Amino acid sequence: PVPGKVSEVPDELREQVICRKFNIVDRVWKAPTSVTLPRVPAVSEDAMLPENAWMRLPHIAVNGMTNCGKSTLINHILRWTYAAKASSVPGRTKSIDFYCINNRFVLVDLPGYPDPEELAHQGVLKKWEAHWQDLVLTYLQMCADGEYDLRLMLQLQATQRRPSLSCRRFVKEMKEKELPLLLVLTKDDQLKKPNEER
């Protein structure tokens, strides 16, 4: 490989991480509150591999405003229609869900944050402020402290909407904690004039 240049991932390696035909997806943990987030136990060098070895695998997390297409993206990536439940109802994801994928990495599905300016999101806003905000911020802090090995946060943004105040706050939090972030634009099929609006 050329220094400073990103090389293509070999097909055989890619297939070991995400298979095009079939993936072993195991929902290993559901954390509805910050105190229920899994804590990685210490393991001595001579210990056998524990049952909770998945906790030491690298994380890829998916985040975004409620109804921005997180579940659809997760299901598409995993080639599995029902890994995450897609819904048009705001606030469907009420916990941080941890999925162990092919015993290679952990996909983390974060609850969507609301848009305070949207009337339909007002009920979700109360739940976010009361429970989910602390849950998500605690997860981010645990990643920043090295308790979890977060390799990438996929930050979803619907193309037909401007980034909300909540979105900008979240991105700022990620930058302050120096966590890896990738912006993913979604729902461009809902644009009235796709070529112009993109």
pLDDT digits (tens, 9 = 90+) for 107-129: 999 988 776 666 555 666 676 66
Please identify which residue in the block is written with the tokens 């994801």.
93
Percent of the chain with pLDDT over 70: 65
Q: Which helix (H) or strand (E) holds 29?
A: strand 25-31
In the predicted structure, residue 175 carries a pLDDT above the cut 70: yes
Beta strands in 10-93 (DSSP E): 25-31, 59-64
What angle, 0 to 180 degrees and rounded to 10, lies between the N-to-C axes of helices 133-144 and 165-176?
Answer: 20
pLDDT tens-place string over residues 22-40: 778 888 899 999 999 999 8
Total-model pTM: 0.79
In the predicted structure, residue 49 carries a pLDDT above the cut 60: no
